[in-house]
Structure 1
């Protein structure tokens, strides 16, 4: 397949703001045909669409209100009836160490369910035309330290799932590429999520003294930059404002 963002229809979850919004912006900047923003934040999502439409043209961006844990069937049916989707970016996420269940439902279960729905839809061996699925995990998906235990569990799972789904054995049959993106510490609303009380001081010390905080724009650009060449099943890390690179994972 030719991997070129030009004229692609792209769906991004959690794209009203932050990393998701910047991924949307970069795809449109690089010639995407239509960008479908999914988010539970309706007011912010509609403002995002207006901004992108003013920037790239009327109708280039579309907003659908969506809770990724509840609205898969309804929203995906609406999308598939109107568009021929080429790219899905599962970006919606949460940092909530007060709730293991919510963390897993949003960060992991929803990612798996949305991936499989669009994977089946895109499969060339079932009449689709192939495509790309990006799943946004985290640098914390393979780092070892004591912080954000539930968040790490969810992101470890996303990496394992996406690597396996994107294995060349599966790609050769389906024509659907699956790639994992692992941002490091990025200046987004997720950093205001709650941690265990007795972890708070240590985690804040890490953020203040051990990492270089990135902007969401750098992540959005990096995601689209690798679109043309990233191999299926690969995991990419973008941290400390360094260039995006392959993760040092075992094969």
Structure 2
């Protein structure tokens, strides 16, 4: 049943817009009980929850203002007290090639900290009910080119973390599945990235030659992957092509 979205309570970081919002929408479309949207931008988060409730029914979406780098203990305690969460989707992320600390903190460290908080809460060997940690990685967690160096560093770490924590041995002990989706180029605000001047011209040319998919495409792929992924798996959703397992590095 862990692979069935029906009646699941889903927590989505960075869920107010872009890929996170579409993932929330698609999980509700596929029968999720509730989505809890965590985001730093309150006006956008409130509007997103309102829109999802209008579409899927009253109480289907809940917004909680959250800075994932600071509010872990406060917000996770609220979630554990009020909801029986089944899935944590670590979606929040940035591309800022002028701040290595900010990029690593948001894209990697916060993701690991949120994962471990839910992992410990859900561990069946310690009285928990099990669950799924679902990390939004990137094709840049296994591919490389000269651009977005800090972003790739973080995403490589996310993939290694997913495959290590999600190892079958850990799953057998704890009952917590850990999986990842690796989206390709997607039409979100992250395409307007802060990159090094030496990369700007070549990067813009590179992006102009690549097929850019919609966030809705990634949202649908995310649910499809959720249904089939085994613990430790990382699946690719890129170029509007069918989903497939990411290569092992």
TM-score normalised according to structure 2 size: 0.98
Matched, 1:229 2:238: no
Matched, 1:28 2:14: no
Structure 1 residue runs of 5 or longer lacking an equivalent are none
* 1:156-187 deviation per Cα after TM superposition (whole angstroms, max 9, x unaligned): 00000111000000000111000011111000
**RMSD between aligned alpha carbons?**
0.8
Tell me how far 1:148 sits from its aligned partner.
Answer: 0.4
C-alpha distance in 2 between matches for 1:206 and 1:70: 35
C-alpha distance in 2 between matches for 1:136 and 1:226: 12
Tell me how far 1:2 sits from its aligned partner.
Answer: 4.2
Structure 2 residue runs of 5 or longer lacking an equivalent are none
Partner residue of 1:149? 149
8 Å Cα contact 2:142-2:247 kept in structure 1: no
* 1:55-77 deviation per Cα after TM superposition (whole angstroms, max 9, x unaligned): 11111100000000000000000
* 1:201-228 deviation per Cα after TM superposition (whole angstroms, max 9, x unaligned): 111111001x100000011101111222
C-alpha distance in 2 between matches for 1:99 and 1:244: 32
Instruction: Please show how residues 189-228 of structure 1 align to structure 2 within 5 Å.
Output: 189-209=189-209, 211-228=210-227
C-alpha distance in 2 between matches for 1:70 and 1:8: 26
Instruction: Please show how residues 68-107 of structure 1 align to structure 2 within 5 Å.
Output: 68-107=68-107
Give SS of 2:227's match: coil
Tell me how far 1:119 sits from its aligned partner.
Answer: 0.6
Partner residue of 1:177? 177
C-alpha distance in 1 between matches for 2:115 and 2:191: 25
Give SS of 2:12's match: strand
Matched, 1:62 2:62: yes
Tell me how far 1:54 sits from its aligned partner.
Answer: 0.3
Distance 1:43 1:57, change over 3 A: same
C-alpha distance in 2 between matches for 1:227 and 1:152: 24
Instruction: Please show how residues 115-194 of structure 1 align to structure 2 within 5 Å.
Output: 115-194=115-194
8 Å Cα contact 2:225-2:235 kept in structure 1: no
